[in-house]
Amino acid sequence: MRIAYASTLVSAQSQNTVKLCDAIDDTINYLKDELQRKSDLFQDPSLGCIFLLNNSYFVAQVMSQSHPSGIKLTPECKKYMDFYLLSWGHVLSCIPKYHSPGLLRRWINTSPLAKFESSFHKTYQTQKFWKVPDPRLRDALRRAIIERVISGYHDYLKEQPALAEQVSRGSSSPQVLEEMLGELFEG
């Protein structure tokens, strides 16, 4: 399809060329609709987003005439990535954005750090073996998660120096969690 599409662009415009371009566009739209229907079959919507992202990225790469060395996310791929990143939103929601007063803190049975760690590990374990075959897309996804989750976690720890000291020696330091995220999507 890509070769036929490219050859129609360089050839003189004729009625047959226009019909071929229309047929190719119709086929691509049909395939996108089929992918959307298939993604709806996943029980986990985040996995459906990964499915759509993988396939949309593949179609964009096949149809692209750009240089393959850099990653170029189409608006559609960015949309699926943003939807996917929402699956990590609950992890960050476990830690407050501001320092809670002492009385309010006593009402909370579980510390924000324990909730964050639990939510992080649960999400990580769920998504650990999901597959993103393209190494550039896999790296972009990992960097996006790290930017969102680890930077928020790091900011929280900056506001809590005693907690930051305790965490820096354990298995929940930002560096350890970042290393874990570097293992995602290998399948």
Do 171 and 103 share a structural domain?
A: yes
Do 158 and 132 share a structural domain?
A: yes
Nearest-10 Cα torsion for 132, 137, 143, 145: -50
Dihedral sign, CA of 139, 88, 122, 177?
positive
Domain, as residue range, for 25:
1-41
What pLDDT, on a 0 to 100 scale, did the predictor assign at position 25?
A: 78
What pLDDT, on a 0 to 100 scale, did the predictor assign at position 13?
A: 56
**How many separate domains does the chain show?**
2
CA-to-CA distance for 84 and 187, rounded, in angstroms? Answer: 17
Do 99 and 65 share a structural domain?
A: yes
Which range (10-19, 59-68, 84-93) has the least confidence?
10-19
CA-to-CA distance for 3 and 72, rounded, in angstroms? Answer: 20
**The model's pTM:** 0.78
In a domain, 34, yes or no: yes
Do 131 and 159 share a structural domain?
A: yes
Do 70 and 134 share a structural domain?
A: yes
Do 171 and 85 share a structural domain?
A: yes
Q: Burial, 67: exposed, middle or buried (Cβ in 10 Å; 0-12, 13-18, 19+)?
A: exposed
Contact of 82 with 138, CB cutoff 8 Å: no
In a domain, 75, yes or no: yes
In a domain, 187, yes or no: no
What pLDDT, on a 0 to 100 scale, did the predictor assign at position 24?
A: 76
Contact of 35 with 52, CB cutoff 8 Å: yes
What pLDDT, on a 0 to 100 scale, did the predictor assign at position 169?
A: 83
User: What number of CA atoms fall less than 13 Å from residue 142's CA on the CB side?
Assistant: 20
Do 55 and 35 share a structural domain?
A: no
Do 75 and 61 share a structural domain?
A: yes
In a domain, 78, yes or no: yes
Banded model confidence at residue 6, pLDDT cuts 50, 70, 90: low
Do 14 and 73 share a structural domain?
A: no
What pLDDT, on a 0 to 100 scale, did the predictor assign at position 1?
A: 56
Which range (34-48, 66-80, 90-104, 148-162) has the least confidence?
90-104
Do 48 and 16 share a structural domain?
A: no
Do 28 and 74 share a structural domain?
A: no
Do 92 and 18 share a structural domain?
A: no
CA-to-CA distance for 122 and 63, rounded, in angstroms? Answer: 37
What pLDDT, on a 0 to 100 scale, did the predictor assign at position 62?
A: 78
In a domain, 186, yes or no: no
